[in-house]
Chain A
Amino acid sequence: MSLELKANAFQETAISAIGDIQLQTALDRGTTNSVNGRIRAMSEAEVTDAAALRAQARAAKLRALRKLPDLLEQFEAKVTARGATVLWAEDAAECNRHVIDIARRHAVKSIVKGKSMATEETNLNHALEEAGLKVVETDLGEYIVQLAGETPSHIVMPIIHKTREQVRDIFVDRLGMAPSDSPEEMTKFARGILRQEFLNADMGINGANFLLAETGHAVIVTNEGNGRMCSSLPRVHVIVAGIEKIVESVEDFGTLVQLLPRSGTGQRLTVYVHMMGGPARPTDPDGPEHMYIILLDNGRSRIRETDYAESLACIRCGACLNICPVYQNVGGHAYGWVYSGPIGAVVTPLLNGIHNAAPLPHASSLCGACKSACPVDINIPDMLLRLRGDLVKEGNTPRTLTAGIKAWATTMQSPRLYALAGGAAKVATRLARGKDGMVHTLPGLLGNWTQQRDFPPFAPKSFHQLWKERQSGS
């Protein structure tokens, strides 16, 4: 499993995704169910004042980002006092090094992992395997992705790109399951295997949905229960969390934890809300002997100082992916990195350098559905627009387009040139008309228009002309 950045191949991957009927079936089902679930869970019948709740959540996240350094130190002090160790990781390599060092220190051989996007970001599994360690994903979707040698294609639903039949084939081929299409049968089978992995593991690794500064707890919201097995069965427990997961107070957490499941899976609350605040105490019946929390920066502090700081308010619910008509058609792998959909189109260029993800800010019609679905009201279209501006400023744009835009700007600043250009386009489009009155083929870049749809010819007289005639006639 490799997580090399392939965002610059967006268009090619998107085109093959659009033609992949199985993928389209899977995406359609997954995104439709999630969108409907969110709309129901955020409806008036469910939430007294959804707008107020969103505003409160947004304020909580933005405040936490403003106070980030202090809150992280507060978190560290609280959780350290209960016997956990906090480690700071400047980048992906440092994060992975920390985990490997911990594994060596405690003679770890076998690792179980709960769902974590931060460790996808650092490509941790690859680093652990290189270091000779065995690592097993235990979130069912992530387990399937690992078996298939793939990467997750959605923040919340890693295998949204797979149909049930494809999952069956993976289980049959890789694990020797007796063929069955029943999700219950398949889950039961995987559960049997994973149970043994939990019992054998020396180390568990989790991500975090929230870090509570007030109390020093890391929180995960999950449905499968695998996360708490990872945190409580093995003797060593490691949490890897992006620094932007910090929230100031239990009250803020109370606001956000209402919105994350509602926005992500359409649930009022996930099956488990699991709070982790340190290793086992002498009186505890179970729990890890050692607990480490790695706080991952990996570019976040830098983004926090820019106009794109708001992107760090994301709570990774996936609502913007589900509602996005681009994501619905191309899926997550087209975005070529860990985070996909509208928020991925913003954070992938920010975290990896804009030239390494140049198509992503353009992979949007700017319809605004992402912003309207976002539980913390992140202005994604505005950030995409500003990233496009950055690409132009840095010269990362086709020369022909730049020439075209400059000609357009010159024309539009002069009513006389505007009328002349309109007249020329009128003649050209009227000559290009087919028998049915529409234009079916256009030259150059405009050929990309007629590749997909017909074009109407310009009118015989512009409104400017009609208005002049009307004024002189009256």
Chain B
Amino acid sequence: MTTPHERPSVQGKRASLFVTCIVDMIYPHTGMSTVEILERLGVSVDFPEAQTCCGQMGFNAGYRDEAKAVAKQFIRAFGDSEVIVSPSGSCVAMVRDYYPQLFRDDAEWEDRALAVAARTWELSEYLVDGLGITDVGSKLPAPHTAAIHDACHGLRGLGLKQQARTLLSHVGNLTLIDLNGADQCCGFGGLFAVKMPEVSGAMLRDKVTNITACAADLIITGDASCLTQMNGGLHRAQSGKRVVHLADVLAGKVE
């Protein structure tokens, strides 16, 4: 794992948004929230339009050649970017932890892959560790009690835990409490969710049980994929609770 302090400083640099395929297609408002937060903090943001996907789905299924082909599209799209920021711990972990492995001993691509990996940041990590910001100056329109679900790849892949908590502790109208089993997987796991639906579903029910028992009305997480799994389960269980993306909370966009 590349640790932040080994990486080039992000201060004063333009940020390129890697929106991720899921946010692009299903939750574009979360991408807009990310842009708004960054611009409000004085960061100039661009959006390389050739971007598609990080390649994680194929990689996790064992299709390394196909994943590599998709990863090359990412490297081409972000080759000129100074800093790459993404509202997803999972996709960032793919780029940072697995691109170096995927392109090892590839004479043409390895250096480019390593350079892109070193410049890629998850949103909360970029704000807190990169820019040194703890308060993004936002406030929710109405009071909420919320709890964090620590998405696995951000937590155990990138080592992120305090960053989101620090930022959220300064958001107005928001009270943070603990979610039992906050660091336990929701059962998404990419294709795992459709290849082993019953096992994934059992893990999801454990998560829904914990969310239902929690006094929070909102669950906040940093990954749209886990959010899709958890909201799908909450909705199926006819729960009134919902999971929202960290970026939308930080932008004050949660009703």
List residues of chain A with CB under 8 Å of any chain B CB: 11, 14-15, 18, 325-326, 328-330, 361-369, 371-372, 385, 387-392, 397, 401-402, 405-406, 408-409, 411-415, 418, 422, 425-426, 436, 438, 445-446, 448-449, 451-459, 461-468
Pick the contact of B196 from A14, A426, A453, A457 — CB < 8 Å?
A: A14
Question: How many B residues, CB 8 Å from partner?
Answer: 67
Contact yes or no, A467 B49, CB < 8 A: yes
Chain B CB within 10 Å — which of A11, A387, A468 has the most?
A11
Q: Are B196 and A362 in contact (CB under 8 A)?
A: yes
B98 to chain A, nearest CB (A): 8
Q: Of A413, A426, A438, A454, which one neighbours B70 at CB under 8 angstroms?
A: A413
A-B contact pairs, 30 of them (CB 8 A): A18-B202, A325-B185, A325-B187, A329-B202, A362-B195, A365-B187, A365-B189, A367-B185, A387-B62, A388-B60, A388-B62, A405-B58, A405-B63, A408-B58, A408-B66, A409-B67, A412-B21, A412-B52, A412-B73, A413-B70, A415-B49, A415-B73, A418-B52, A453-B201, A454-B232, A454-B236, A463-B23, A463-B31, A464-B49, A466-B28
B182 contacts the other chain (CB 8 A): no
A405 to B56, CA, bound (A): 11
CA distance A459 to B24 in the complex (A): 9
Q: What's the Cα separation between A465 and B49 when bound, in Å?
A: 10
A445 touches B194 (CB 8 A): yes
- Residues on the A chain within 8 Å of B194, using CB: 445-446, 448-449
Which of A401, A411, A452 has most chain B Cβ within 10 Å?
A: A452
Q: Is the CB of A365 within 8 A of B152?
A: yes
Q: How far is the CB of B28 from chain A (nearest CB, A)?
A: 4
- Give the number of residue pairs across the A-B interface with Cβ within 8 Å: 198
Question: Chain A at the B interface: mostly helix, strand, loop or mixed?
Answer: helix
Q: Which residues of A contact B188 (CB under 8 A)?
A: 365
Question: What separation, in Å, do the CA atoms of A397 and B228 have in the docked complex?
Answer: 26
B window 155-191: CB within 8 A of A: 155-157, 183-185, 187-191
12 extra interchain contacts, Cβ-Cβ under 8 A, other than A14-B199, A452-B204, A457-B26? A366-B192, A367-B152, A367-B184, A405-B57, A405-B61, A405-B66, A409-B67, A409-B69, A414-B73, A452-B233, A454-B236, A464-B24
Rounded to whole Å, the gap between the CB of A207 and the closest CB of chain B is: 31
Cα(A329)–Cα(B209), bound, Å: 14
Are A409 and B197 closer than 8 Å at their CB atoms? no
Tell whether B252 is near chain A: CB-to-CB under 8 Å. no
Within 8 A of A (CB), among B83-102: 98
Whether the pair A18, B199 counts as a contact (CB closer than 8 A) is yes
In the A-B complex, list the 8 residue pairs whose CB atoms are closest, starting with the nearest: A365-B189, A388-B62, A453-B232, A452-B201, A367-B185, A368-B156, A409-B66, A463-B28
User: In the bound complex, how far is the Cα of B64 from the Cα of A422, in angstroms?
Assistant: 23
- Min C-beta distance of B25 to chain A, whole Å: 5
Q: Which residues of B contact A453 (CB under 8 A)?
A: 201, 204, 229, 232-233, 235-236
Q: Which residues of A contact B50 (CB under 8 A)?
A: 415
Q: Hey, which chain A residues are within 8 Å of B206, CB to CB? A: 325, 328-329
B198 in the interface (beta carbon within 8 A): yes
Which residue of chain A lies nearest to B93 when distances are taken between CB atoms in the complex?
A368
A375 to B38, CA, bound (A): 40
A365-B200 in contact (CB<8A) = yes
Bound Cα distance from A346 to B27, whole angstroms: 36
A11-B52 in contact given A409-B58, A458-B25 (Cβ < 8 Å): no
Decide yes or no whether B32 CB sits under 8 A from chain A.
Answer: yes
Q: Smallest distance from the beta carbon of B130 to chain A beta carbons, Å?
A: 22
A389 to B98, CA, bound (A): 13
Residue ID in chain A nearest B185 by CB atoms: A367
**A454-B185 CB under 8 A given contacts A409-B63, A461-B28:** no
User: Closest chain A residue to B29 by CB distance?
Assistant: A459
Say yes or no for B72: interface residue by CB 8 A criterion.
yes
Contacts of A14 in B (CB 8 A): 196, 198-199
For residue B236, give the distance in angstroms from its CB to the closest CB of chain A: 5
Q: A326 vs B29: C-alpha distance in the bound complex, in angstroms?
A: 33
Using A11-B196, A463-B19 as known contacts, say yes or no to A364 and B189 having CB atoms under 8 A apart: yes
Answer yes or no: B53 CB below 8 A from chain A CBs.
yes
CB pair B62 A452 closer than 8 Å: no
* Complex: A422 Cα to B60 Cα, angstroms: 21
A residues less than 8 Å from B185 (CB atoms): 325, 365, 367, 369
